[in-house]
Structure 1
Amino acid sequence: MSFPLYFSRKIALSKDNKNNLSRVIIFIGRLSVALGIIVSLITVSTGFGSKKAIKERLADFSGHITVKSTRSNSSYNTSVLDNQGLEINKIKELPDVQSVQKYAMVTGIMRNEHNFAGVIFKGVGKDFDSLRFKKFLIAGTTPKITEQGYNNGITISQKVANDLHLKVKDSIVTIFSKTDQKPVYRKFEVVGIYKTDIKMIDDQFVIGDINQVRKIQDMKPNEAGGIDIFLNNIDDIDTVFPDVEKLIGYKNYAEKATEKYPQIIDWISIFDTNIALIIIIMLIVVVINIIMVLLILIIERTNSIGLLKTLGASNAQIRATFINYTLIIMIPGLLYGNLIGLGLLLIQKFLGIIRLNPENYYVSTVPVDLNPVAIISISLGILIISGLALIVPSYLISKISPVKAIKYN
């Protein structure tokens, strides 16, 4: 063991430190480190958690990647997918693809004696991933689609249900308009109510049988207006997207879930700036306090510095000793900061105590993402940056004269 590390451990663990005047300064230093860790952990975990939760909700409802016909580029009334060059089976075989489901959409108006609501009727087939959708259900279920005949069951959002005073097993008439033709009337039974907390979805979408849309849109059996592609991990979208584009033909186009609602993505991108800003502020506070601790320790132990110089210790060895000493002092702050920060995050993750307004934040509770890499990086980052920041003020030791230091009282 080197002399600076050995000596710094001896003085850091000495019982004398508990009774000297520096204990208040050491306590403040440790407190600032602990608070810096707590605030940084909460900021990073909730910030990244919110970004991930919102993206996953968008993707779990409408697919991580969606393939549509170029003719339905700007319309909710989907046009028929072109089968030329469309390799659905090969898309399913891509290693990062979990499932693929077809759909078709048409706009309509739901109306009853209470109110009316403009909706987008999303017809799904027998390959609909009801298990993935289950997380959104707050009542009832999703329609059991067999694509044999017509299923009149629909799952509506809580927003639409409240506007029209509907509950499970109620009936509702929906009007669909067709170009140069009379409106088409359909009577549906509400079999389920969902809530995604994303206003753009909850205000509009109704889940029903794809055969209903096929009939309204004069589509042939087995034709679809698009396909939703679900991946194993939302972080793989950018990697898988080019492979999907090669398998959809030139008359269709692919769209990422992160591009489907640009206003939401632009909003959550602000999180990165806020996270960086808060961490920088916390880091500055921690570094200033640790530098203060070092300077107080140097002033308090001037006699020891003079004695070490008299015994032949170099300025570099003494500087290293005090830097190590200060970093050792930080360790309890790091430990308590992590324990308290992770404890608070675990409570929020499993109990969801802090709630949000979904109309403003797209989630009803504060999401938490406990990423081990981020957690370890915060502690190591603060420790390393603090160590580097201590190098310059430690040069004050080289200005101390051994003769004057020994006389110093």
Structure 2
Amino acid sequence: MNFPLYFSKKIAFSKDNKNNLSKVIVYIGRLSVALGIIVSLITISTGLGSKKAIEDRISNFSGDISVKSTRSNSSYNSSVLETQGLDINAVKKIPGVAGLQSYASVSGILRTETNFAGIILKGVGKDFDKARFQPFMISGSIPDYKEDGYNNEIILSEKIANDLSLKPNDSIVTIFSKEDQKPIYRKFVVKGIYKTDIKLVDDLYIIGDINHVRKVMNMEDKQVGGLDIFLDDTDQIDHVFPEIEKYIGYKNYAEKVTEKYPQILDWINIFNQNISLIIAIMLIVVVINVIMILLILIIERTNSIGVLKTMGASNAQIRSIFINYTLLIMVPGLVAGNIIGLGLLLIQKYTGFIKLDPENYFISTVPVDLNPLYIIAVSVGIFIVSGIAMILPSYLISKISPVRAIKYS
């Protein structure tokens, strides 16, 4: 029989403890553990959820990896993607690649009788992944871009639609200009309205037929301006990226979505830093409170320590008793913290009652990622670290003389 563990359980669950002077301190300790668990769970779940939501939104709009011509410049007008050395079928077969779609883009101006907006027309074709884009749609529908002529239906962002007072089935004139040429006018019909909550996208992009871009940019029928490559798991981008580079040809280059939108990468990195900082602070607070509980229990039960020593218990056994005792006291706090923390997270996950300003946060509601691994790791981590942290303070027991402890009890 494990004597320290057995004795710890006996005193931890003894009815006599209800009248001990340390009762309030124990409750405070349990409260600190519960709060530590709650704050840690909320921080990790919302932090990772926000990070994943932002990455998924930008990846689903423009791909995890984009392939462009090396002739591309900083303008939004596409250069023709070079076919020499480009093996699209080989790219599709790379493990981790979920699919790809071609595109070409050109900048222009949407104009109404009373207002105008600078835009980028992202032309897509028959390989456009409508299912991936569908979650962004808030009204109307996604047109069929079959590349068999010119489809005049477009999709606007909610931001552009509101600025120009447009709704589905409205008509809009678009002006494209090129050097040394007269402006090119195109009349489009608004088929649908989307919203990504990412300002860099919603302020500029409209979706339309790639054939219109080809016509404006003097491209041939099958030429494209680039490829959007989607991955099964965005976290594998560093592993898949070098494989993709092998099949795109030396006249083209690949670009990660994090390189395309560095502002978003910087924002995502802030989540990582904040999560680490808050978890560290909560862990320190919990450990300090648990150590104080241990010291108070040792002082309060000095007489019991003296009796145990006179009965032959070693210092190591007594230290184990009090460490186990303190850890058992923590258990209700751990359970309560998990119940409350998970309850709050589930409410947010299914109701989204806490809103955010997408202008600043790139998302409109606080997303929640309930990863079981992290949930378990929080409780187990706090429990283990607290146990290790109590080893050094528990050596106070070895300084207690059994004779004096019993004499002055």
User: TM-score by structure 2 length?
Assistant: 0.99
Q: Where does residue 269 of structure 1 map in the other structure?
A: 269
Query: 1:148 aligned to 2:148?
Result: yes
1:159 corresponding residue in structure 2:
159
CA–CA separation in structure 1 for the residues paired with 2:114 and 2:346: 44
1:22 CA drift (Å): 1.5
C-alpha distance after superposition, 1:159-191 (max 9, x if no partner): 110111100000000000112111100000000
Residue 360 of structure 1: SS of its match in structure 2?
helix
Cα separation, 1, equivalents of 2:77 and 2:408: 86
Unaligned runs of 5+ in 1: none
Q: Which residue of 2 aligns with 1:79?
A: 79
SS at match of 2:183: strand
User: 1:246: which partner in 2?
Assistant: 246
User: SS of 1:277's equivalent?
Assistant: helix
Aligned to 1:196: 196
- Partner AA of 1:76 in structure 2: Y
Q: Report whether the alignment pairs 1:289 with 2:289.
A: yes
Cα distance in 2 between the residues matched to 1:253 and 1:173: 34
Match of 2:169 in 1: 169
Query: What are the Cα deviations for residues 222-269 of structure 1, in whole angstroms up to 9, with x where unaligned?
Result: 110001111111111111111101110011011111211101211221
Cross-structure match for 1:97: 97
Q: Once the two structures are aligned, what percentage of the paired residues are identical?
A: 71
Moved >2 Å (runs of 4+): none
1:300 Cα deviation from its structure 2 partner = 1.1
In the TM superposition, residue 77 of structure 1 has moved relative to its aligned partner by 0.4
Q: Which amino acid is 2:372 matched to?
A: P
Contact 1:105 1:225 in 2 (8 A): yes
Match of 2:390 in 1: 390
Once the two structures are TM-superposed, the CA of residue 404 in structure 1 deviates from its matched residue by 1.0
Worse-matched range after superposition: 319-328 or 371-380: 371-380
Kept after mapping to 2: 8 A contact 1:108/1:177: yes
Whole-angstrom distance in 1 between the partners of 2:260 and 2:125: 22
* AA partner of residue 164 (structure 1): L
Distance across 1 between alignment mates of 2:257 and 2:313? 63
Look up the SS of the partner of 1:181 in the other structure.
coil
Cα distance in structure 2, aligned partners of 1:267 and 1:348: 22
Task: Verify: 1:208 aligned to 2:208, yes or no.
Answer: yes
**CA separation in 1, counterparts of 2:207 and 2:143?**
8
Which AA in structure 1 matches 2:81? L
Q: Secondary structure at the match of 2:118?
A: strand
User: Who is 2:134 aligned against?
Assistant: 134
Report how many residues are paired: 409
> Match of 1:105, as an amino acid?
S
Q: Is the 8 A contact 1:114 1:165 kept in 2?
A: no
Cα deviation, 1:30-82, whole Å, max 9, x if unaligned, reads 11000000000001111111111111111000001110111114221011110
Q: Which residue of 2 aligns with 1:220?
A: 220
SS of corresponding position for 2:119: strand
Aligned match of 1:307: 307
- Name 1:406's counterpart in structure 2: 406
Structure 1 residues 163 and 310 mapped into 2: Cα distance closer, same or farther (>3 Å)?
same
Aligned 8 A contact 1:302 1:408 in 2: no
Residue 38 of structure 1 corresponds to: 38
Asked if 1:362 corresponds to 2:362, the answer is yes
CA deviation after TM superposition for structure 1 residue 321, in Å: 0.7
Letter in 2 for 1:114: T
Q: Distance in 2 between matches of 1:279 and 1:92?
A: 40
Map 1:330-345 onto structure 2 (within 5 A): 330-345=330-345
The AA in structure 1 aligned to 2:203 is D
Given residue 123 of structure 1, which amino acid in structure 2 is its aligned partner?
G
Secondary structure of 1:98's aligned partner: strand
| SS state at 2:71 partner | helix
DSSP 3-state at the match of 2:182:
strand
Write the distance in 2 (CA, Å) between the matches of 1:278 and 1:38. Answer: 12
- Secondary structure at 2:100 match in 1: strand
The Cα of 1:275 is off from its aligned counterpart by 1.2
Distance 1:310 1:373 in 2: 46
Query: Aligned letter for 2:94?
Result: L
272-281 or 356-365, larger mean C-alpha shift: 272-281
1:113, distance to aligned residue in structure 2 (A) = 1.1
Deviations 1:279-307 (A, max 9, x none): 11111111111111101111111111000
SS of 1:172's partner is: strand
Paired residue for 1:57? 57
Unaligned runs of 5+ in 2: none
- Amino acid paired to 1:380: V
- Could you tell me how far apart the structure 1 residues matched to 2:232 and 2:402 are? 66
